[in-house]
Amino acid sequence: DAEITQSPRHKITETGRQVTLACHQTWNHNNMFWYRQDLGHGLRLIHYSYGVQDTNKGEVSDGYSVSRSNTEDLPLTLESAASSQTSVYFCASSASGANVLTFGAGSRLTVL
């Protein structure tokens, strides 16, 4: 069965460290998204990609970056982790021409 996998599921890091969260999907979806979910804020879009070599900033992109070198993967990098980036991160994907998202199980990041 096709799926979307996030790793690690849980991570604790220190302020200032670089962190990369992985997202791998086997749906063969062109569109991939990264969201963060925080109490009181709901889901907020960080970055998204509509295909290989395409990346775009979302509403809360400061301090984050992504790259898309193939269809299956969209890793999210926190260049220098800050306590404000403690959150649950969700990767999602959708097919071209569709607006329905399939989500991963989430990665819970704690920055101390």
Partner 1 sequence: QKEVEQDPGPLSVPEGAIVSLNCTYSNSAFQYFMWYRQYSRKGPELLMYTYSSGNKEDGRFTAQVDKSSKYISLFIRDSQPSDSATYLCAMSALTGANSKLTFGKGITLSVRP
Residues of this chain that interact with partner 1 (CB under 8 A) are: 33, 40-43, 45, 48, 50, 58, 90, 92, 96-106
From CA 30, how far away is CA 20, in angstroms rounded?
Answer: 21
Q: Cβ of residue 24: shortest distance to partner 1, in angstroms? A: 14
Contacts of residue 108, Cβ cutoff 8 Å, sequence gap at least 6: 9, 10, 11, 88, 89
Q: Which is nearer to partner 1, 12 or 16 (CB)?
A: 12
Q: Cβ of residue 82: shortest distance to partner 1, in angstroms? A: 23
Q: Which is nearer to partner 1, 45 or 75 (CB)?
A: 45
Q: Cβ of residue 44: shortest distance to partner 1, in angstroms? A: 8
Q: Which is nearer to partner 1, 65 or 88 (CB)?
A: 88
Tally: H helices and E strands in the chain: 0, 11
Q: Which is nearer to partner 1, 48 or 64 (CB)?
A: 48
From CA 86, how far away is CA 27, in angstroms rounded?
Answer: 29
Output the six-digit token pair for 100: 């329905």
Q: Cβ of residue 97: shortest distance to partner 1, in angstroms? A: 4
From CA 71, how far away is CA 78, in angstroms rounded?
Answer: 21
